[in-house]
Amino acid sequence: MSRSRTIPDETVFATLRQMLAEGGDKAASFGAAAQATGLAASTLAQRFATQDGMVRAALLDGWAQIEAATAAAESEAAVSPKGVPVLLKLIGRGREADICLLAGHLRDGALHDAGQAWRARVEAAIALRLGGGSKARDSAAMIFAAWQGRLIWGGPGDSFRLKDALKRLA
């Protein structure tokens, strides 16, 4: 009979994503993850079989967390052009590091599929708020690209404002 888990996978995954964001893929060894989570390295090896499997599971869980945040944001943001910045702010709130981390791991097929599905969902939510139709879908794709580009490449003092881009594209 197996023992019950004292530390749930979600907690381990959040710790792993933080380790990956701070130190890259090499930072998430079984030993380092064990030290950070308080679990034995052998326990992590039993749960995930390989280091790559552990990292992949943590990143897939990250996509699931982003999807849940997106669903919540879709229900809160008004279905109008003014709802677009609210939608993006709600999705990104406190998740910017995870979004950047996840976007950097799209070479893996399952992670790529999860990222593509999320992108399509966000673009559809933006297009809905812009009135639907092909022009709204095109604008939504550009808004998503600008938002993600700003998130990944922007920084303090950056003069780009998403609200200004929305005014031009909506």
Q: Is the pLDDT of residue 125 over 90?
A: yes
Q: How far is CA 13 from CA 95, 141, 159, in A?
A: 14, 30, 35
Q: Is the pLDDT of residue 3 over 90?
A: no
Domains and CATH numbers, the chain: 9-169 (1.10.357.10)
Distance CA 113, CA 138 (A): 21
Give pLDDT, residue 70.
Answer: 95
Give pLDDT, residue 28.
Answer: 82
pLDDT tens, 132-167? 899 999 999 999 998 888 888 776 555 667 777 777
Mean pLDDT over residues 7-16, rounded?
A: 88
For residue 127 the two structure tokens come to 């297009």
Give pLDDT, residue 98.
Answer: 83
Give pLDDT, residue 169.
Answer: 66
Q: Is 57 helix (H, G, I), strand (E, B) or coil?
A: helix
Name the range with the highest mean pLDDT among 10-14, 104-108, 120-124: 120-124
**Positive or negative, the Cα torsion across 149, 150, 151, 154?**
positive
